[in-house]
């Protein structure tokens, strides 16, 4: 808590200039788009049954309009110098800049997982997911990473199959596992 306030004071203390968090306009735009999509979707709904006291579009109109209003409020607040209080945590170091490259690499690993899971199955893809993300996050022991990943994915596959009775599709390894 105290760390936050100190940081705040530093930000607004000496410089005194208005800090505009430009990225926050992006969030406002996103809210606007979501709001408009909700509104358009609600407008496209047909009138429901006569005995339906709350028409299906009613909530859509309310939620969509409020989202558009919130987008406007956020844009104004941003313009007036409102800065987001980014979330803190044990492993989070907010004093350095954001490392979006790591996030992008994690995204790539995740997209590969989504694209291949139906074909390769959890046992292989899960191991790849663990080893891949561990490496992106800074682990440099490739063989150990793969070993741990394989162990985890096999254990969870058998654990779900035998222990919980949830048959996760085996994918390409069908018949092997």
- Using CB under 8 A as the binding rule, the residues of this chain from 138 to 157 that contact another protein are 138-139, 145, 148-149, 152-153, 156
Among 29, 33, 108, 115, binds another protein (CB under 8 A): 115
Residues 33-92 that bind another protein (CB under 8 A): 34, 37-38, 41-42, 45-46, 48-49, 51-54, 56, 59-60, 63-64, 66-67, 70, 73-74, 77, 80-92
Instruction: Give least dist CB 14 to another protein, A.
Output: 14
16-22: which pairs have CB atoms within 8 A and are 24 or more residues apart? 18/80, 18/81, 19/81, 19/83, 20/78, 20/79, 20/81, 21/78, 21/82, 21/83, 21/84
Query: Of the two residues 10 and 103, which places its CB atom closer to another protein in the complex?
Result: 103
Instruction: Give least dist CB 133 to another protein, A.
Output: 4
Instruction: Give least dist CB 172 to another protein, A.
Output: 14
Instruction: Give least dist CB 137 to another protein, A.
Output: 4
Query: How many beta carbons lie within 10 A of that of residue 48, not counting itself?
Result: 13
Among 36, 112, 135, 146, binds another protein (CB under 8 A): 135
Q: CA angle, corner 132, sides to 129 and 151, nearest 5?
A: 55
164 binds another protein (CB under 8 A): yes
φ and ψ of 93, to 5 deg: -115, 100
Q: Dig out the tokens for 127 from the structure.
A: 């191991």
Q: In terms of Cα–Cα distance, which of 31, 58, 63, 32 is closest to 43?
A: 58
Instruction: Give least dist CB 173 to another protein, A.
Output: 15
Give dist(CA 68, CA 127) in Å, integer.
43
> How many alpha carbons lie under 13 Å from residue 48 in its C-beta half-sphere?
9
174 binds another protein (CB under 8 A): no
107 binds another protein (CB under 8 A): yes
């Amino acid at each position: 808590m105290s760390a936050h306030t100190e940081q705040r004071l530093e930000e607004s203390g000496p410089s005194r200039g208005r800090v505009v968090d430009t990225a926050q306009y992006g969030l406002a735009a996103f809210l606007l788009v979501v709001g408009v999509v909700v509104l358009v979707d609600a407008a496209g709904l047909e009138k429901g049954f006569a005995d339906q006291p709350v028409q299906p579009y009613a909530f859509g109109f309310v939620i969509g309009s409020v989202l558009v209003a919130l987008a406007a409020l956020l844009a104004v607040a941003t313009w007036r110098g409102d800065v987001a209080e980014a979330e803190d945590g044990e492993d989070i170091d907010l004093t350095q800049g954001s490392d979006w490259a790591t996030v992008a690499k994690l995204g790539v690993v995740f997209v590969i997982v989504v694209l291949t899971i139906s074909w390769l199955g959890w046992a292989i893809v899960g191991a790849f997911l663990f080893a891949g993300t561990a490496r992106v996050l800074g682990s440099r022991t490739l063989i150990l990473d793969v070993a741990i990943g394989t162990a985890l994915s096999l254990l969870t596959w058998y654990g779900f199959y035998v222990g919980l009775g949830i048959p996760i599709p085996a994918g390409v390894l069908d018949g092997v596992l």
